[in-house]
Structure 1
Amino acid sequence: MSGGARRVLEAWKLGVVKYGDALRLQEKLVAERRAGRVSDLVLSLQHPPTYTLGKRRTDHNLLLPEAELRALGADVHRTERGGDVTFHGPRQAVLYPILSLRAVGLGARRYVEGLESAMIEVAALYGVQARPGAAGETGVWVGDRKIGAIGVRISSGFTCHGLAFNIDPDLGYFKNIVPCGIADKEVTSLRREAALELPPDEVIHDQLVQSLARTFCFSDVEVKDETECADMVCLAAATQS
């Protein structure tokens, strides 16, 4: 990556955000980033129970009808990200980087590898040896158990969507889908794999952001909380998809 100048990554800490609101916020921010009105940033949040499908629309990997999934209290969304079906929910750390890959100096493959690296680094802090997926496996794994999912969208060199790292979500929700289209592997969590006591979820969110910033050679992280981001969040939430 070309360098020398000090580069700051903004981290927007948003708490729990409905998936549709987060999707509209990303769309708004990508447009703002493309126009140069915001800098590189990452959204750090959690979602209420939600199933999402990627642009390939692999509905056959939903093992229950949508009406039954919604009856369980989970939303269902179809998106334009890469990857297959996955689940988002409480106690899962979600990061959505809104970056100019040209500014970061990365291609798509290296970018995805950076997302993997951030999750692997944080897992290691708790004594968990994670690895990137092998051929045909997306995301990050502990042995043959998946701990982190990746699904990105890159449009004209600008990123959205991102990663989901399982801290301690209700893994039962994953039994209603074929996670990421891989039928013969389990989903796991940091709580299940770590021998150490885990800190509050917010700490792990922050560790993921810091690891991501180091991986992509940002010199500093500037944290913005929900109050500081309120205007943009409300504007996006009020926009109809």
Structure 2
Amino acid sequence: MKTLTLWTPGLVEYGKAWDAQKQIHALRREGKIGDTLILLEHPHVYTIGRHGDRSNILFDEEMLREKGISVYHIDRGGDVTYHGPGQLVGYPIFHYKNLGFSTRRFVHSIEEVVIITLARFGLTAKRDPLYPGVWVGLNKICAIGLRVIDGVSMHGFALNLRTDPAYFGGIIACGIQNRGVTSMEKEIEKQGNPLPDQKTVISELTTTFKKVYGFHRIQSFSDTSSVPGLS
């Protein structure tokens, strides 16, 4: 029976979560654990991908300190992105080769999960042929950036639920000029509806992961002591 392990440890400092990712990724590569999805939030942080440009962070060091924003250079694809409270960050640590996916198809499948989930809340989202991620019009609602080693993925996606736009103002998001950023809250409020709580979004998202990747069951943990690197 194909099982997805889901960990929802809450708000976790980025460096601590990155260490946990690396430990879980190593265990998955060794076949000691199954496919694992981490869903969490981070305190304010800008991350720069391995081909990213530091100049795409517009805030100077004083402003970064004033706003309490950490900066990490990391090993995913993509450029600069923001993580913070009100954003649901997902790290699918999947042996996607075993699932029958190419790298491109795997990226598209993550986009598909997000697009289907947003549709369940009445939002029409799409892919963009030029840029990875999920978009509502010309505004990105979900960023995607991955690294793959031995057919096992790490890093993942960041879905904006209720994010403070001021923090996106400190970067050129993903290094893309002339595009904006949006959130579920902003788009749903245009329809006169309130944003569902995070637990509801997580439930819909994990149900869609289960369907898209053909998992038979989900085993869920929220206790951080259950997550390697977070205890």
TM range (shorter): over 0.9
- 1:211 and 2:205 aligned: no
Instruction: Mark the runs of 5 or more structure 2 residues left unpaired by the alignment.
Output: none
Counterpart CA distance in 2 for 1:108 and 1:84 is 19
Kept in 2, the 8 Å contact 1:144–1:185? The answer is yes
Task: Determine if the alignment matches structure 1 residue 140 to structure 2 residue 140.
Answer: no
Q: Does 1:115 align with 2:110?
A: yes
CA RMSD between the two structures: 1.4
Report the equivalent of 2:222.
Answer: 225
Does structure 1 conserve the Cα–Cα contact (< 8 Å) formed by 2:20 and 2:227?
A: no
How has the CA–CA distance of structure 1 residues 219 and 230 changed in structure 2, closer, same or farther, with 3 Å as cutoff? closer
Counterpart residue identity of residue 126, structure 1: F
TM-superposed CA distance for 1:35, in Å, is: 1.3
Per the alignment, in what secondary structure is the counterpart of residue 71 of structure 1?
helix
Aligned AA for 1:182?
Answer: I
How far apart, in 1, do the equivalents of 2:148 and 2:61 lie?
28
**21-30 or 210-219: bigger deviation:** 210-219
> What's the TM-score once normalised by structure 2's chain length?
0.94
Residue 86 of structure 1 corresponds to 81
| Match in the other structure for 1:239 | none
Give the distance between the partners of 1:49 and 1:132, measured in 2 at CA.
Answer: 26
Identity of aligned residues (%): 36
Unpaired runs of at least 5, structure 1: 1-5, 235-241
Answer whether contact 2:23 2:228 (CA < 8 A) is retained.
no
Query: Is the partner of 2:101 in helix, strand or coil?
Result: coil
Whole-angstrom distance in 1 between the partners of 2:26 and 2:224? 22
SS of the equivalent of 2:211 reads helix
Number of paired residues? 228
Shift of 1:66: 3.6
Normalised by the length of structure 1, the TM-score is 0.90
Report the 3-state secondary structure (helix = DSSP H, G, I; strand = E; otherwise coil) of the residue aligned with 1:160: strand
Q: CA deviation at 1:171?
A: 1.3
Native 8 Å contact 1:18 1:47 kept in 2: yes
Question: Which residue is 1:183 aligned to?
Answer: 177
Alignment of 1:68-87 (within 5 A): 68-87=63-82
Q: Write the letter of the residue equivalent to 1:16.
A: L
Q: Cα distance 1:203–1:228, how it changes in 2: closer, same or farther (>3 A)?
A: farther
Q: CA deviation at 1:231?
A: 5.8
Secondary structure at the aligned position of 1:87 is classed as strand
Alignment partners' CA distance in 1, 2:224 and 2:90? 19
Residue matched to 1:3: none
Deviation at 1:187, TM superposition (A): 0.3
Alignment partners' CA distance in 2, 1:184 and 1:203: 32
Q: Is the 8 A contact 2:52 2:78 kept in 1?
A: no
Deviation at 1:169, TM superposition (A): 0.8
Deviating 4+ runs (over 4 angstroms): none
